[in-house]
Structure 1
Amino acid sequence: MNRKPVSSSNLRSVGYDSSANTLEIEFHSGQVYQYFNVPESIYQGLMNAASHGKYHHRHIKNNYRYKRI
């Protein structure tokens, strides 16, 4: 999955596969997580958020099934 770099103190890059509704986030620690069944509106909200890290914490983390890859 192609990820786009984001300006964030916590997140390094974000990608989204609209055919699978899968969101992929790379953190500055180097860890990469895939979140499943994420609506495209959540991805767009993350990309447009003033703080990507806060948006991730409030709207994605613990709200969607995920795995570390």
Structure 2
Amino acid sequence: MSKSYTAPAAFSEEEYVAIPMTPVESKQVAAVGYDAARKTLAVSFSRTGGAIYHYPNVEAKTHAEFVGAESIGKYFGAHIKPLPFKKFKAPEAA
């Protein structure tokens, strides 16, 4: 029996606005950032580039609970993953 997989999300056509990211202790999530003024949560799953996901309309409380969770990966799956997001190519390292 073969599994069906969802195709990866396309990269957003919108202009990327960088949000400072902080590495986190997680096997699933590499780094997290938050822009309080825009209520946008930024998440990266790769330590070597790839993509950065922006989750709009996320309250500061959710960000604090996310980075403070006992399991960041489990919190992500339960509370962040279902949210709408925009996917951006990670900027080139300088």
Q: Same fold (TM over 0.5)?
A: yes
Aligned residues: 68
TM-score, structure 1 length as denominator?
0.92
| Unmatched 5+ stretches in structure 1 | none
Find the aligned partners of 1:31 and 1:10 in 2 and give their Cα distance. Answer: 14
| Unmatched 5+ stretches in structure 2 | 1-18, 89-94
Greater Rg by CA: 2
More helix by share: 1
Runs of 4 or more above 6 Å deviation: none
Find the aligned partners of 2:77 and 2:62 in 1 and give their Cα distance. Answer: 12
Given the alignment, which residue of 15, 24, 37 partners 2:42?
Answer: 24
TM-score, structure 2 length as denominator?
0.68
Given the alignment, which residue of 37, 46, 65 partners 2:57?
Answer: 37
3-state SS of 1:65 partner: coil
1:31 CA drift (Å): 2.4
More strand by share: 1
1:32 CA drift (Å): 1.3
Find the aligned partners of 1:50 and 1:28 in 2 and give their Cα distance. Answer: 20
